[in-house]
Amino acid sequence: MFVDQVKVHLKAGKGGDGLVSFKHEKYVANGGPFGGDGGHGGNIIFEADPGMVTLLDLRYHRIIRAEPGEKGKNKRMHGATAPDTVIKVPLGTMIKKADTGQIIADLTEPGQRQIVAQGGRGGRGNSRFKSSRNTVPRYAEPGREGEEFDAIVELRTLADVGLVGFPSVGKSTLLEAVTKAKPEIGDYPFTTISPNVGVVQTKDGRSFVMADLPGLIEGASQGKGLGHQFLKHIERCRVIVHVIDMGGSEGRDPVEDYRIINQELENYHLRLLDRPQIVVANKMDLEEAQENLKRFKEAYPDLEVFETTTIIHEGLDPVLRKAADLLAVTPLFPLTDEKEEDEGVTYTFEEKEKPYTIVRHEDGVYEVTGRIIDEQFHPEKLTTDEDYFRFANQMRYLGIDKNLRAAGAKDGDTIMLQGYEFEFVEQ
């Protein structure tokens, strides 16, 4: 079973909590804070494995969690950092955030690794908070949560040359003839429902990877038939081999077939027609092939057409040599286009979100929200004056009091955090 897209839930490890501890040793008077820091949570890493060809493993493991870091220890000892969770995927795998569609990783090299979800930082122990003003801190920092989100893991076939064309034009037969790949071949449409890949070796010693891709139909760029499921696999190909049934064995017109397929390639969002294209007139042994070829050349006089009969391996060497020549001068194509960039859609790493936001609701009422507030503000832990002192220092360290003043907050105004109200005191 071929699986080329899976939605998974990723949860990186939480950082270990810092420890509140004090030095208690015989003959040592007034032992100070002695609690250590928590260990960092484990990352979730994706690694490209050349030995894998499908995402089938992920289909049955939709939730991926990394281990949490160890809590801090006595004697200022750090808790252990959790091991990373490594997920192996095939070459050509792309990982995107499910909500935004932004690419987090694009794994195209053997052994390439990418941290997809970052583990949380370990909390600091109470020994880290000792100062001249607070010589006996009785609090420690909790570990931070690791990143958690839904991701789309998508396999896009990694090939130099892609075979395109309507169903049953002979793409699978061509691939079998020039490589050791064994695609399913039949006398019915859509025999190929997933990409088949093989390595081509030309007679002059050059080699490249060729992919037989599922057949297109009219409207594929709008999702009809195999639609985008097919088109995304050609995005990485540098050269397109357009196979046409010149004999018209399926009752279609080769001239119209060529126009329709190129229209679908043009309509797709990554400008697939920018790639060099080799036109192959296949099934030239059929009765109407020569007449159709004459009409085709009249309709497209500037095209170079390679005549083949793939079932008997005839006329294939010129096609392979032409493909190798084009690959030598054709660069990689980006997985974005100018239209997407103009519309603000980017396939790059997501910018870091703001840690908090200050909103003014009405005169004298300000609300502070954001990730850092959710992580640092734990009202159930505010039980002593020391807890409030520590929390106030955190707010000051994060610059929240300064930004509240910049937003217009004055002495006596109300500050809201997670539904709790505080009075803003100017010092």
Annotated binding residues for GTP: 165-172, 190-194, 212-215, 282-285, 309-311
Query: Residue 24: CA atoms inside 13 Å, Cβ hemisphere, count?
Result: 5
CA distances from 7 to 10, 97, 107, 230 (A): 10, 10, 17, 18
Contact 306, 322 (CB under 8 A): yes
Q: Label residue 342 exposed, middle or buried (CB < 10 Å: 0-12, 13-18, 19+).
A: exposed
Instruction: Record the tokens describing residue 136, joined without a space.
Output: 């006996």
Residue 65 CA to residue 68 CA, distance in Å, equals 9
* Angle formed by the axes of helices 385-397 and 400-407, nearest 10°: 70
Cβ–Cβ < 8 Å for 167, 32:
no
* Known binding-site residue numbers: 165-172, 190-194, 212-215, 282-285, 309-311
Alpha-carbon distance of 122 to 81, in angstroms, equals 8
Annotated binding site for Mg(2+): 172, 192
* CB contact at 8 A, 243 and 280: yes
Q: Work out the number of other CB atoms within 10 angstroms of the CB of residue 226.
A: 20
